[in-house]
Amino acid sequence: MAFELPPLPYSRDALAPHISEETLNYHYGKHHQAYVNNLNKLIEGTDHENAPLEQIIKDAAKDSSKAGLFNNSAQVWNHTFYWHSMKPGGGGKPTGAIADKIDADFGSYDEFAKQFKAAGGGQFGSGWAWLVLKGGKLEIRKTPNAETPVTEDGATPLLTMDVWEHAYYLDYQNSRPGYMDAFIDNLINWDFVNQNLADAS
């Protein structure tokens, strides 16, 4: 059973002007597709051929000889999670349970936004910023390259922001802060975050 590129939850031009159709043509249509294709080649004829994606990621993370399998499987998962972390007309202050939880654990939405942006900006080179639930508390993470909280015991990912240059270079060139502002103010899908929080609780 080969993996397939999961459908985007919106059309490729739906996030414009914050993220352009051209960016999604490359980022979703080429990069994400390439991770899926590479993963399928790497698992073909192996014990992982019929394994769930999360199991492949966790197994590969424990074996340094399987770096290619880890990178491609984790990037398939991370990107699918990232597409769902955004929606047209999203961003800004959340509502629902996540709003109360952010106030309780960060003090305010502004403090959350500041820390989330600092995580993305502080990730030198390629990587990801995350909001996770661990031990009943919200925490922010940054991870390099393909690394993902999926491998962290007890941590549930709630939200992610891709800070690889391929996520923003066509629209923002070198300005990662400009991309991160657009993500936080205009794109975060708080419905998805609320659903992940509810599933984890």
Residues within the interface to Mn ion (CB under 5 A):
162, 164
Q: What is the closest distance, in whole angstroms, from the C-beta atom of residue 167 to Mn ion in the complex? A: 5
Output 71 or 194, the one with its CB closest to Mn ion: 71
Output 70 or 106, the one with its CB closest to Mn ion: 70
Amino acid identity for residue 115 in this structure:
Q
Contact 91, 187 (CB under 8 A): yes
Q: What is the closest distance, in whole angstroms, from the C-beta atom of residue 96 to Mn ion in the complex? A: 28
Contact 148, 157 (CB under 8 A): yes
Q: Is the backbone peptide bond immediately before 157 cis, with ω within 30 degrees of 0?
A: no
Output 160 or 196, the one with its CB closest to Mn ion: 160
Q: What is the closest distance, in whole angstroms, from the C-beta atom of residue 130 to Mn ion in the complex? A: 14
Closest residue to Mn ion: CB criterion: 162
Paired tokens of 157: 């990912």
102-123 burial, b for 16+ CB within 10 Å, e for fewer? beebbeebeebbebbbebbeeb
Output 147 or 162, the one with its CB closest to Mn ion: 162
Radius of gyration of the chain from Cα atoms?
16
Q: What is the closest distance, in whole angstroms, from the C-beta atom of residue 179 to Mn ion in the complex? A: 12
